[in-house]
Amino acid sequence: MNPFSSKYTLLLSLCVMIALAACDNELNMNGAANGLTFSTDTLTFDTVFTTIGSTTSKVMVYNKQNKAVKIDMVHLAGGASSPFRINVDGAKDALHQFQDIKLNARDSLFVFVEVHINPNDENMPVLVQDSIMFNVDGKRKRVLLEAYGQDVELVRSMIISQDTTLNAGKPYLVYDSITVEPDVTLTLAAGTRIYYRNNAAMIVYGNLRADGSWEQPIYMQGDRLDKINYDHPIPYKYVAGQWGGVFLLAKNGHHVLNHIDISSGTVGVYFYNEDKNATPYLEINNSRIHNFLLYNLVVVNGNVLVTNSEITNSGSYTVYLNGGEHQFYHCTIANLFSKSAGSPVSRDETPAVMLMDLNKQLPMESIFKNCVITGTAKTEFTIASKFKDLYKGDFQYNYLKRTEDSLAVYQHNRWYQEEDSLVFVREEYDYKKATYFDFTPDSLSPLRGLADPTVAEQFPLDLKGRNRLADGEPDAGAYEWYPTTAQ
């Protein structure tokens, strides 16, 4: 055996490795531009509020060749006047021009992008565009940048001391809070949009009136319109806890909410009165209260009427009633919070609907007709009372997820069965398919044809504006099944 053979083999291997490394680091100037690839050809930002700018996004640039590439310049086509800003692998330049960048073989670099859009006093979003240009060996490649900018009315600690109307037009962006003083009415006109910063809230010691319509509902939500990355990108609008909530705290308040969509805060509507000698009133019609970290609707010592509304997905109670008279007609109350994807907390095991008659509050009376109460827990409807057989209630033609009860207050209800499936069209958020919850009854749903027609005649249109009486067999809940909704 040749004692030098192993040494020779090792030396040869080292020479090959060195040669390969030299090839990798050698600049490829022939067709180099064709070797660059990008993570996207168009980087699109969600709507950006003009006062706060965007979060930072990025474009990845890849060199998949076996030789290094020299990028002569990376720059914004719009130059220093562009609404966009870029930096390359953390490096910044006032003119957004970066020269002589060497990208090694099979390597990549980051181009970070943000956008700031000047206010334009327009009610509708405006589109701004630019391009990141890559110059290599006399050739150009580009990545298109685009963003919609929305001008807003900025609200900081607004105190409303006289009757006031917030109008449609530019959205309101609320820092801290909107506070309504006692004996004062705040009116929200049809089409009003209110976006809240983290922990911001609406606090009402007077009266709140939301005058939305089928054509122009009122929206309240958090101000983040981009996406958050958990295991995968999730739109912030689907993530609970983005803002505080709506707190109705007047002991003699009179609140009417028509066609209002409230979503993704910590608490939806918190209707609370600590004076047992007063009875405030809350009416909610044709509305949606969806996806809250704690509760969607809390009523303590007050009378409430809720019609044709969706109240869904919460980390704890979805509807909590304690003291007062409560009427619910054609409502969908469902807690599928555990299927939300991306929630910062898990749902607890409290029922979707709790009627708490143990505390010493105002006398209670509850009416639920043509409603749906369901969710992922074993029991989603509970009456907490020492004497349930004496409880003043009327529960008819509902779908209830709980053990069947023979008390006289229950008539003509459909009790949950283990074989029940496909209650709703979509019962989870599927980020891969980009489909969200849809609480319309499925074609095979036990909700179909369950409702009392005489009650349905009082609410002929469902929450999507469709005729629930068209087939003569109205469905329970806020939504009517239609053939076009079948999946």
CA distances from 109 to 38, 64, 423 (A): 10, 12, 48
CATH number assigned to the domain with residue range 32-149, chosen from the 4 options 3.30.70.260, 2.60.40.10, 3.10.580.10, 3.50.50.60: 2.60.40.10
Give phi and psi for 185, each to the nearest 5: -110, 125
Using a CB cutoff of 8 Å and minimum separation of 24, what contacts does 171-175 make?
A: 171/49, 171/195, 173/49, 173/51, 173/52, 173/197, 173/223, 174/200, 174/202, 175/200
CA distances from 34 to 87, 137, 194, 231 (A): 23, 10, 47, 33
Average pLDDT value over all residues in the chain: 89
Is the pLDDT score of 282 beyond 50? yes
3-state helix, strand, coil in the chain (%, to 5): 10, 45, 45
Least confident of 66-70, 342-346, 392-396: 342-346
CA distances from 138 to 33, 142, 207 (A): 9, 13, 67
For residue 482, how many C-alpha atoms fall within 13 Å in the half-sphere facing its CB? 16
Alpha carbon 105 to its chain centroid, in Å, reads: 42
Least confident of 156-165, 220-229, 238-247, 380-389: 220-229
Least confident of 110-114, 149-153, 228-232, 434-438: 228-232
At residue 445, the pLDDT reads 96
Is the pLDDT score of 3 beyond 50? no
Q: From CA 22, how far away is CA 232, in angstroms rounded? A: 39
Q: From CA 460, how far away is CA 191, in angstroms rounded? A: 23
Q: Are 155 and 175 in contact (CB under 8 A)?
A: yes
At residue 281, the pLDDT reads 98
Single pTM value for the model: 0.83
Is the pLDDT score of 20 beyond 80? no
At residue 32, the pLDDT reads 52
Q: Are 102 and 40 in contact (CB under 8 A)?
A: no
Sign of the Cα pseudo-torsion (260, 51, 120, 42, in order): negative
pLDDT tens for residues 89-119? 989 888 889 999 999 999 999 999 999 888 7
pLDDT tens for residues 391-447? 999 999 999 999 888 888 999 999 999 889 889 999 998 887 889 999 999 999 999
pLDDT tens for residues 355-380? 999 987 899 999 999 999 999 999 99
Characterise 100 by phi-psi region: left (phi > 0), alpha (psi -120 to 50), beta (else): left
How many Cβ atoms from other residues are within 10 Å of residue 19's Cβ? Answer: 10
Q: Say what percent of the chain tops pLDDT 70.
A: 91
Least confident of 11-15, 343-347, 456-460, 475-479: 11-15
Helices marked H in 152-248: none
Alpha carbon 265 to its chain centroid, in Å, reads: 9
Q: From CA 50, how far away is CA 173, in angstroms rounded? A: 10
Give the containing element (helix H, strand E) for 9: helix 5-25
pLDDT tens for residues 42-64? 998 877 887 777 778 899 999 98
Structure tokens at 434: 């980009």
At residue 53, the pLDDT reads 72
Size (the chain), residues: 487
At residue 227, the pLDDT reads 80
Is the pLDDT score of 181 beyond 90? yes
Is the pLDDT score of 17 beyond 50? no
Domains of the chain by residue range: 32-149, 152-485
Least confident of 195-204, 206-215, 478-487: 478-487
At residue 155, the pLDDT reads 93
